[in-house]
Amino acid sequence: MSYLHCSSLILMKFQVTEIEFDFDDDEEFTQYHYDNITAYTLGSIWEADDEEDLVEEITCATGWCIKSIDYRHVLS
């Protein structure tokens, strides 16, 4: 008899405290746009597996690569 093992994935919650995006190659947006993207990122609680996944989640959500990031874990 075979058993199906089901494990639940528990995502960690992160709050970004500082972030620097790679805005160097864009000439379309203004500083206002950059500030809004940064404020959105800092104002959100992000769920991810780990730091690498956190960077990927933010990159996908904002469309910008990240140069540097600082964060803290948020307890549920």
CA–CA gap between residue 76 and residue 65 (Å, rounded): 28
Which pLDDT score is estimated for 69?
97
CA–CA gap between residue 16 and residue 43 (Å, rounded): 8
pLDDT tens per residue, range 8-53:
567 899 999 999 999 887 778 888 999 999 999 999 999 999 999 9
